[in-house]
Amino acid sequence: MSLLNEQEQDLVTNAIAEAEKQTSGEIRIAVEKHCKGEAFERATAYFAKLGMDKTKKRNGVLIYLAYEDHKFAIIGDKGINSRVEPDFWEVAKIAMQAHFAGGNIANGLIAGITTTGEKLALHFPYESGDINELPNDIIFMDKHPHQL
């Protein structure tokens, strides 16, 4: 059994697309079975490897999940971190934790995406001509070990 079935993957990528309609920010999801070390450090490494620090306004967000180890992290680029309150990422994590604890990974990811998208829309509203700088697909890092 895979972590997310095809329908759940579609729901997650659609949530990213919907959130990004309200913001110039970029949201990505990176998933793997196991996390070597701390989730925040792993997410930080993937953030750079996935080119998320290359967005025009430095407003990318990565939601990282190591599902077998029950670890996850949310990190944002410089542009976001300079504008949101210090506890913002904790608020987004709390929105996700109840779903994860209940075994609903897709709803947990969607909660994180929605919460993040709403905050991004406040600080980085959608602008006419905005382009999607990063793909909305879920990155299954176990299937793409060359990424890191």
CA dist 36 → 13, 57, 81, 96, 105 (Å): 26, 30, 25, 21, 20
49-76 confidence digits (pLDDT tens): 999 999 889 999 999 999 999 999 999 9
32-50 confidence digits (pLDDT tens): 999 989 999 999 999 999 9
Domains of the chain and any CATH numbers: 6-139 (3.10.310.50)
SS3 content of the chain, % helix, strand, coil (to 5): 50, 15, 35
Global model pTM greater than 0.95? no
